[in-house]
Amino acid sequence: MPRTSTALLLFLIAAPLAAADRPMVIAHRGGSASRPENTLPAFQHALRIGVSMLEFDMNLTSDGRIIIHHDSTVNAKICKAPEGSGVTARPIGLMTLLQLEQFDCGSFDRPNSPRYKAVPDTKMPTLDEFLSAVVESKVPLLGETKMPPEGAEYAPDPVSFVDLVIASLKKFGVEDRFILQSADYRTLDAMRQKNPKVGICLLNARRFKPRYLELAKKHHATHIMLRTDDATPEQLQALRAAGVKILSSTANTREDWKAYADLKMDGILTDDPEGLLEFLGQQPAK
């Protein structure tokens, strides 16, 4: 077999896809290579440049409020409380909303991300604040229920967590464009039972490889998140035939974007939505 030249390989990687073949551009944590992750500036910037979907993470505070942050414990590398405040990075389930609102999650730098801009004094938004900020956009919303390690004293009841999510979705009228994702399928099952309008996305499904179709049917999944090496083309086709949309794991390089595009993924999750839009031949809006 003849070797592919370097020039041809670069052309193939850079060649824009036809509009019909373009996957959705999903801003992971709002696009953390551009703005502080999981913050309103990140989500607003992602909408401004024209992403297809917003992805974010939800945690439950000790006083029953849903706050957007990736880890179940406050990430001290990106969120700092004022000196002398007495507030320290701890499990979110052991902290009140008032305590969490003291953290500045926008002042840190991201040296290896040339598009990144810090936004000092940016707070963790609540789910209500997030929905209020994006409700007019009409883009789908992919929210993850973050559950602490099994047995943790601060772990929320999955059903109660879902009830709070549903209350916010109804308040802003976004049930029909919300997709609940989680590796804790108890929350997914509770959502399906209580509000079938909401989409269901299976995370970490590779634990059950190769029984993806069986898993999707069991949990009434509308979406599943997979890596390039998680499933065969036949398994992917079986999922599509059953109406399940397939989303990528987080991908941040042109090579990875091409690999997922070649697999006909319905959406590509990325920290760099501007780069992915450019790769797909779509000029990000300014």
Phi, psi of 267 (to 5 degrees): -155, 150
Q: What are phi and psi of 53, to 5 degrees?
A: -155, 150
* Domain assignment of residue 1, yes or no: no
Distant-in-sequence, close-in-space partners of 126: CB < 8 Å, separation ≥ 6: 65, 66, 67, 68, 97
Number of domains in the chain: 1
The single-letter code of the amino acid at 52 is: S
Domain membership of residue 81 as a residue range: 22-279
Q: Domain containing 119 — which CATH number?
A: 3.20.20.190
Q: Has residue 151 been placed in a domain?
A: yes
Q: Is residue 6 part of a domain?
A: no
Residue 212 in any domain: the answer is yes
In degrees and rounded to multiples of 5, residue 281 shows phi and psi of 85, 20
Residue 15 within any structural domain of the chain: no
Alpha-carbon span 242 to 166, nearest angstrom = 26
- Per-residue pLDDT for the chain (286 aa), expressed as one digit of tens each? 444 444 444 444 445 555 557 899 999 999 999 999 999 999 999 999 999 999 999 999 999 999 999 999 999 999 999 998 999 999 999 999 999 999 999 999 999 899 999 999 999 999 999 999 999 999 999 999 999 988 899 999 999 999 999 999 999 999 999 999 999 999 999 999 999 999 999 999 999 999 999 999 999 999 999 999 999 999 999 999 999 999 999 999 999 999 999 999 999 999 999 999 999 998 787 6
The model's pTM: 0.92
In SS3 terms, 34-95 reads as CCCCCCHHHHHHHHHHCCCEEEEEEEECCCCCEEECCCCECCCCCCECCCCCCCCCCEHHHC
Q: Is residue 241 part of a domain?
A: yes
